[in-house]
Structure 1
Amino acid sequence: MAATQAASIALPAAANDGVSYARLYGEPLFKLPNDLYIPPDALEIFLEAFEGPLDLLLYLIRKQNFNILDIPMAQVTRQYLAYVDQIRLSNLELAAEYLLMAAMLIEIKSRMLLPVRKVDTDEAGDPRAELVRRLLEYEQMKLAARELDAVPQLGRDYVRTQIYIEQSLVTRWPDVEIIDLQSAWADVIKRARLIEHHKISREELSVREHMTAILRRLQHARFVEFTELFDPARGVPVLVVNFVALLELAKETLIEITQAEPFAPIYVRLAYSPT
């Protein structure tokens, strides 16, 4: 239970430094201002701060080491009413909640003073039982809240640090997906059909020859755009064989197919340095 100390304002006596009444911002004050105004509530004494009537009751019981299962109602009620009388002088709205508990304590005390009949003991039991149950539950919740408050919290007990790690400066080209090759190949076929002439002819095409032609073409350039490896004027059969030759070279890791960024042109280069 946090106790707020009495707030007070004290001016050092003139005898402390020989001349001045006080010090204001480090400077000695030799004469009090004529228009000095001190509000009525400037000096206010705060009693122990409680979170409610149950908190006050629990404080009174634990402070005097009373058994919470056998509360001396007369002594606790007397101390409780003394505190309520003090807060009624300064804060009537706050005292209303405490007065309700005071009425409950007086009722319990009155029921304990009445003669105990056998029928009453069998039906009613100890008049303090309900109050003890509420106090034990409140104390349990209060201890749980204190344990939760002791857990380190972000922003109150520690801060989260952020470390920025510079990534490698080596350029890594994005991997070419199958969908990208399909799209580029569909574009080549589309352009080939636009300029295709209807000719019936028989031509023997060799995938190995086209593989050799592609390798020979790549030896003279560092990068060659994918579409430049195809000549639409030679017809769709030649384009198909040329594309199969390109896939065979990629399968045998003789060429690399790269792309600078998504949706960018696709480039082809040799996977080895020609001697």
Structure 2
Amino acid sequence: MSEPQTSASSSLEDGGDLLATESGMPEVVDHVAVARLYGEPLFQLPQDLYIPPDALEVFLEAFEGPLDLLLYLIRKQNFNILDIPMAAVTRQYLTYVEQVRKRNLELAAEYLLMAAMLIEIKSRMLLPPKKTAEGEEAEDPRAELVRRLLEYEQIKLAAARLGELPHYGRDFLKAQVYIEQSMQPRFPDVHIVDLQGAWADILKRAKLVQHHKITREELSVREHMSIVLKALQGRKFVEFEKLFNPAQGVPVLVVTFIALLELAKESLIEITQAEAYAPIYVRLSYTPA
């Protein structure tokens, strides 16, 4: 590639606007490179350049099949579909099939099948019509082809109408609103066991607030002080617990305890204990003779 670059540079130095090589390809056209290779300007095409035949294809019309091509040829030239001029249509059809066959033989297979059918219809039209047993005229050889073309045209028009309808994702989008999870509180599922526990708690609280009548009982501290002194007379020591009778009820026990405190305050009794955590004893106070 060094030689072409040298010749191109020499042509630029000479100031020529157009230089031709032996193959007829231009080296420099208005000081513009023919192409660029890896970013470098290329002023002359290489001699061994190979371009595959199918590197560039231009499709002027795209058809979905033989019927689509036939319908296009008929409608473009305003032919009566019920009275198709088979010679003109077949000639144009074969021209297109020949172009397709050169590019893609597999694609041309179904087009060739339709071409054979057109040639057959054209041949049958050249023959004299056969009369039926009832004396009626024979069916037109083009009838089957016309029926298929009309059905195909109806389906194609229906597909076009469907394509014009608004499509989701093409013509409109579904509105969506995203809400943060924190704004959507999700409450836990409640089971039957939870309901039973809640109901039991309600019943328990209801019992606590039930109405009850309070009666007042007159209890005398002085009287119980006398009862305690009588219980201590003639005894050296009496255990603290033996002075209380739980069967008398809480109010009596409270008044008895207050009575003991009053007696101890007035120094009429002594409350002693041998050591820590040892039993507590109560006795009358000792008075010297």
Shorter-chain TM-score tier: 0.5 to 0.7
- The structure that has the greater radius of gyration is 2
1:12/1:22 contact within 8 Å kept: no
Match of 1:52 in 2: 65
- Is 2:146 the partner of 1:147? no
Structure 1: distance between partners of 2:191 and 2:154: 62
% identical equivalent positions? 72
Query: In structure 2, do the counterparts of structure 1 residues 179 and 18 end up closer, same or farther at CA, with 3 Å as the change threshold?
Result: same
- Displacement of 1:68: 0.7
Give the TM-score normalised by structure 1.
0.53
Match of 2:136 in 1: 122
1:54/1:138 contact within 8 Å kept: yes
Unaligned runs of 5+ in 1: 1-10, 193-206, 214-275
Name which of 97, 114, 125 aligns with 1:101: 114
- Displacement of 1:89: 2.2
Query: In structure 2, do the counterparts of structure 1 residues 181 and 69 end up closer, same or farther at CA, with 3 Å as the change threshold?
Result: same
- Is 2:87 the partner of 1:74? yes
Match of 2:99 in 1: 86
Query: In structure 2, do the counterparts of structure 1 residues 19 and 83 end up closer, same or farther at CA, with 3 Å as the change threshold?
Result: closer
1:69/1:132 contact within 8 Å kept: yes
Structure 2: distance between partners of 1:13 and 1:152: 55
Query: In structure 2, do the counterparts of structure 1 residues 187 and 51 end up closer, same or farther at CA, with 3 Å as the change threshold?
Result: same
Deviations 1:224-273 (A, max 9, x none): xxxxxxxxxxxxxxxxxxxxxxxxxxxxxxxxxxxxxxxxxxxxxxxxxx
Amino acid in structure 1 at the alignment position of 2:118:
L
- Is 2:130 the partner of 1:131? no
Structure 2: distance between partners of 1:87 and 1:169: 63
Query: In structure 2, do the counterparts of structure 1 residues 149 and 26 end up closer, same or farther at CA, with 3 Å as the change threshold?
Result: farther
Name which of 156, 160, 163 aligns with 2:177: 163
Query: In structure 2, do the counterparts of structure 1 residues 124 and 140 end up closer, same or farther at CA, with 3 Å as the change threshold?
Result: same
RMSD value, Cα:
4.2
Q: Secondary structure at the match of 1:119?
A: coil
- Is 2:129 the partner of 1:113? no
Structure 2: distance between partners of 1:34 and 1:127: 57
Unaligned runs of 5+ in 2: 1-24, 213-289
Structure 2: distance between partners of 1:22 and 1:142: 45
Q: What count of residue pairs does the alignment treat as equivalent?
A: 186
Deviations 1:34-81 (A, max 9, x none): 775433322334352211110111011011010111111111111112
Range that drifts further, 166-175 or 111-120:
166-175
Structure 1: distance between partners of 2:95 and 2:185: 80
Matches within 5 A, 1:181-200: 181-185=195-199
Match of 2:209 in 1: 210
Structure 1: distance between partners of 2:155 and 2:75: 16
Range that drifts further, 88-97 or 150-159:
150-159
